[in-house]
Amino acid sequence: MPREEKLIASNKKAFHDYFVDETFEAGIALSGTEVKSLRENRATLRDTFAIVRKGEVWLHNVHIAAYSHGNRSNLQPDRNRKLLLHKKEIRYLIGKTKEKGYTLVPLKIYFSANNLVKVEIGLARGKKLYDKRDSLADRDHKRDVERALKERTRG
């Protein structure tokens, strides 16, 4: 049975800037008004990153806009948020992020099947400029092949 999830925000630039080796699903500690704002799809993952500090994983620079019908209980939109992972996963991530070139990048925020807010984070290595050019060229080539096949079957 496929999981039903409602996408809130995705970080498309992460796949352009990084090679994503592994992905992890994490919960996120939020307040009530932040969840209501996420239901309105008011989140941005541009230039976000995650770090491991004192045995906890923190999400930085994620922007969750203030809830439109909120009051003074609205929190700062750009505050750091704690990610909820198992201790075993955190220990694994600590070891991997100490290796040269690895970083934690949030890939998407979504509501899971049981209406919990989840963040998919990726263990990623940075791409060089020539790697980015190669992936753009591959994507263009695939697009051209698809067009040619479409034209061929149409005719």
- Mean pLDDT (the chain) is 85
pTM higher than 0.85: no
pLDDT band at residue 106 using 50, 70 and 90 as cut-offs: very high
Is residue 34 over pLDDT 50?
A: yes
Is residue 59 situated within a structural domain? yes
Total domains present in the chain: 1
Give me the domain span that covers residue 14. 6-127
Instruction: Show Cβ contacts of residue 33 under 8 Å, excluding neighbours closer than 6 positions.
Output: 66, 67, 70, 73, 74, 75
Task: Give the integer Cα–Cα distance in Å for 63 and 42.
Answer: 8
pLDDT of residue 2: 56
- Indicate the pLDDT class of residue 1, thresholds 50, 70 and 90: very low
CA dihedral in degrees (145, 148, 150, 154; nearest 10)?
A: -160
Q: Is residue 109 part of a domain?
A: yes
* Cβ neighbours, 10 Å, residue 118: 18
Residues 154, 54: Cα–Cα separation, whole Å? 59
Mean pLDDT of 81-101: 89
